[in-house]
Structure 1
Amino acid sequence: MRVILSLGVVSLALAGCVAPATNVPQTTAPIVNPPPPAAAQPPAQTSTLDSATRAVARDVVNREMAKRLPGRNVAPYTDCVVNNASMAEMADIAQRGLNDPSSAASSVAVIVQRPAATQCIAKVAATA
Structure 2
Amino acid sequence: MRLVLAALVALSLGACVEVQTAVDNTARTAAKGVITETLATRFPQVPKKLITPFTDCIIDNSSALEVREYARAAVIGVDDTTVATVRGVLARPETAQCLQSRALSSGLV
Deviation at 1:70, TM superposition (A): 5.3
Deviation at 1:87, TM superposition (A): 2.1
The 3-state SS of whatever aligns with 1:37 is helix
Q: Which has the higher contact order (CA 8 A, sep 6+)?
A: 2
Deviation at 1:118, TM superposition (A): 1.5
More helix by proportion, 1 or 2?
2
**Counterpart of 2:5?**
37
| Separation of aligned partners in 2, 1:59 and 1:98 | 11
TM-score by length of 2: 0.70
| Separation of aligned partners in 2, 1:54 and 1:71 | 21
**Structure 1 residues not aligned, in runs of 5+:** 1-33
**Counterpart of 1:111?**
89
| Separation of aligned partners in 2, 1:109 and 1:97 | 17
**Counterpart of 1:79?**
56
Among all aligned residue pairs of Structure 1 and Structure 2, give the percentage whose two residues are the same amino acid: 23
Deviation at 1:38, TM superposition (A): 4.1
Q: Partner amino acid for 2:36?
A: N
- Deviating beyond 6 angstroms after TM superposition, the runs of 4 or more aligned structure 1 residues are none
| Separation of aligned partners in 1, 2:87 and 2:75 | 17
Contact 1:97 1:104 in 2 (8 A): no
* Aligned residues: CA RMSD: 2.4
TM-score by length of 1: 0.61
